[in-house]
């Protein structure tokens, strides 16, 4: 292992010089532009990532937030020999996100490709555009209506699981919510039940989390960036073992679903039937396979990559948005009471599943979720590799460089939000939102590469919250300002989500 580390260091030292020599003119242009921005002290090999390596992971998010105060709304960092320009304001985020040219994801997404391939989250170019166009109909509101049955069924299972826990005692809600979200996404994405709420030790579930954790571990360690060296490292071998588990599971399901289509015919799995309103529950995978039989645009591997992407992105977003909303409601009883009143006016005490028409009526809950996601954005940073020059505050940010949009900082800009650290759902009243820059609120990104599944995520979250809050009151152990974050592929609570539930009396 010592020999491998020495080799890694040698390559890290030599590669920038080789790159500089072969691309001297373009490289010098990038370096001159980067030098115009403030930033942390650069050191050989590590760049500025040494500051992330010498602090506990628990302090990482706070450090990144504080850097904007220290270095300004636009500053630079170095990950090894790779420069990054950081963006913290809506008007700067707009320049990047509205572009139809600068849509290439940053290098950190490369580390997800062994797992997610070139799916919608990680892919780019013409292939990404083909996939996006093909997959978009699968998120039509009528398709979401067919998923509503699954949302409601699993939400009721979550509420039932809380029955024995609703004794006013605090417990970590996050694992239970994670398993519920996995049950929802496995059934809506692949059409299979993994029963994560009942079987928390699922090998597939564990594998997803191990892979995601290693992706972040690798990003802050430049010596693990070269693929060959990473594959030879212990974390690289561990990641590969778990990716194999995830892929084999998805491939097995795809083979079974394709066999079903071939057996019953394309009419049995018609996307048009769903859009015409016929009662039929199809999984995301079914819709992909059916659409692909007509156009034959996706290989089996590409279908698996999109299913893996949906499985990962779909469950983590739901877990985070639902958990953080309950956390906020547990801190603000007056706001929670308004949510209870709205739900009571919709359901009138009836114990029935949440239906699509109910979702539209949850306007106050919608504002509560939006304000929650302003504070606790699911994905804390968006990285893009520029393919076209841009200018920020009159300074050149050249093509070839990476930019990182800090969504939390954008959401906390006092120029966009009065008293930004105050939790106020009414700041998302239509007449109030209209006064802000449209890029001041970007929990699901924005522009051509916005999250295709955001309506799925929000409907799912509303169904879960409505089902739980009709039965229970919630309290938070930590105060609003005491929340600590664990920086992962998504933003998670550092020490779990300690909540307490009590039955409501109507």
Q: Which among 238, 340, 258 has a CA at the least distance from the CA of 303?
A: 258
Q: Residue-wise over 165-189: b if at least 16 C-beta within 10 A, else e?
A: ebeeeebebbebbbbbbbbbbbbbb
Tokens of 80: 């090894």
Q: What is the pLDDT of residue 10?
A: 54
Q: What percent of the chain has pLDDT over 70?
A: 91
Q: Give how far the C-alpha of residue 159 lies from the chain's centroid of Cα atoms, to the nearest Å.
A: 24
Domain coordinates in residue numbering, the chain: 2-503
Q: What is the β-pairing status of strands 402-406 and 381-385?
A: antiparallel
Question: Contact, 47 vs 77, CB < 8 A?
Answer: yes
> Has residue 266 got a pLDDT over 60?
no
Q: What is the pLDDT of residue 168?
A: 95
> Has residue 394 got a pLDDT over 70?
yes
CA distance 30 to 189: 42
Tokens of 395: 């300074």
Q: Which among 504, 206, 144, 59 has a CA at the least distance from the CA of 357?
A: 144
**Looking at residues 292-316, what average pLDDT do you find?**
83
Give the tens place of pLDDT for each residue, 77-131.
888 888 999 999 999 999 999 999 999 998 888 899 999 999 888 888 888 888 8
Tokens of 323: 């958990």
> Has residue 416 got a pLDDT over 60?
yes
Q: Taking the CB of residue 45, how many other CB atoms lie within 10 A of it?
A: 15
Give residue 173's region: left, alpha or beta (phi > 0; psi -120 to 50): alpha
CA distance 242 to 239: 5
Tokens of 113: 């490709």
Give the tens place of pLDDT for each residue, 178-187.
989 989 988 8
Question: Contact, 497 vs 323, CB < 8 A?
Answer: yes
Question: Contact, 54 vs 41, CB < 8 A?
Answer: no
Q: What is the pLDDT of residue 364?
A: 98
Phi, psi angle pair for 77, to nearest 5°: -140, 175
Question: Contact, 229 vs 11, CB < 8 A?
Answer: yes
Q: Taking the CB of residue 56, how many other CB atoms lie within 10 A of it?
A: 8
Q: Give how far the C-alpha of residue 141 lies from the chain's centroid of Cα atoms, to the nearest Å.
A: 21
Q: What is the pLDDT of residue 16?
A: 53
- Interior CA angle at 371 toward 366 and 377, to 5°? 110
Query: Exposed, middle or buried, 498 (CB in 10 Å: 0-12/13-18/19+)?
Result: middle
Q: What is the pLDDT of residue 191?
A: 84
- Within 8 A by CB and 6+ apart from 22, the residues are none
DSSP bridge partners of 472: 503
Does 451 appear as a known binding residue? yes
**Looking at residues 494-505, what average pLDDT do you find?**
93
Give the tens place of pLDDT for each residue, 120-165.
888 888 888 888 888 888 887 788 888 999 999 999 999 999 999 9
* CATH of 2-503 among 1.10.1050.10, 1.10.630.10, 1.10.132.20, 3.40.640.10: 1.10.630.10
């Amino acid at each position: 292992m010592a020999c491998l580390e020495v080799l890694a260091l040698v390559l890290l030292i030599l590669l920038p010089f080789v790159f500089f020599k072969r691309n001297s003119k373009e490289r010098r242009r990038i370096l001159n532009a980067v030098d115009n921005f403030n930033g942390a002290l650069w050191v050989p090999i590590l760049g500025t990532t040494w500051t992330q390596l010498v602090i506990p992971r628990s302090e990482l998010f706070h450090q990144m937030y504080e850097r904007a105060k220290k270095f300004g709304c636009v500053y630079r960092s170095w990950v090894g020999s790779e420069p990054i320009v950081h963006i913290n304001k809506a008007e700067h985020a707009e320049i990047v996100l509205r572009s139809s040219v600068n849509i290439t994801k940053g290098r950190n997404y490369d580390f997800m490709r062994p797992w997610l391939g070139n799916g919608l989250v990680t892919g780019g170019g013409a292939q990404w555009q083909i996939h996006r166009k093909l997959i978009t109909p699968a998120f039509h509101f009528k398709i979401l209506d067919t998923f509503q049955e699954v949302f409601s069924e699993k939400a009721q299972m979550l509420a039932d699981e809380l029955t024995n826990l609703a004794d006013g005692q605090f417990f970590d809600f996050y694992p239970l919510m994670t398993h519920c979200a996995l049950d929802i996404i496995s059934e809506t994405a692949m059409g299979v039940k993994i029963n994560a709420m009942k079987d928390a030790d699922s090998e597939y579930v564990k594998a997803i989390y191990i892979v995601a954790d290693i992706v972040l571990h690798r990003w802050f360690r430049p010596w693990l960036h070269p693929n060959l060296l990473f594959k030879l490292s212990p974390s690289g071998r561990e990641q590969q073992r778990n990716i194999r588990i995830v892929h084999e599971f998805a491939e097995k399901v795809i083979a079974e679903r394709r066999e079903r289509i071939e057996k019953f015919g394309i009419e049995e799995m018609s996307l048009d039937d769903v859009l015409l309103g016929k009662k039929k529950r199809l999984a995301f995978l079914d819709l992909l396979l059916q659409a692909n039989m007509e156009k034959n645009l996706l290989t089996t591997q590409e279908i698996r990559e999109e299913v893996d992407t949906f499985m990962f992105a779909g469950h983590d977003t739901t877990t985070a948005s639902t958990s953080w909303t309950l956390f906020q409601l547990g801190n603000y009883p007056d706001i929670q009471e308004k949510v209870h009143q709205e739900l009571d006016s919709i359901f009138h005490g009836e114990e029935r599943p949440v239906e699509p028409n109910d979702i539209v009526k949850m306007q106050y809950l919608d504002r509560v979720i939006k304000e929650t996601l302003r504070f606790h954005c699911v994905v804390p940073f968006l990285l893009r590799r520029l393919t076209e020059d841009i200018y920020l505050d009159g300074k050149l940010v050249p093509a070839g460089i990476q930019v990182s949009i800090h969504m939390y900082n954008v959401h906390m800009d006092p120029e966009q939000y009065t008293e930004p650290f105050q939790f106020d759902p009414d700041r998302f009243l239509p007449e109030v939102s209209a006064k802000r820059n449209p890029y001041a609120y970007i929990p699901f990104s924005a522009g051509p590469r916005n999250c295709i599944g955001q309506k799925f995520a929000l409907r799912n979250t509303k169904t879960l919250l409505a089902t739980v809050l009709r039965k229970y009151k919630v309290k938070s152990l930590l105060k609003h300002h005491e929340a600590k974050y664990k920086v992962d592929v998504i933003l998670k609570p550092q020490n779990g989500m300690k909540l307490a539930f009590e039955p409501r009396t109507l």
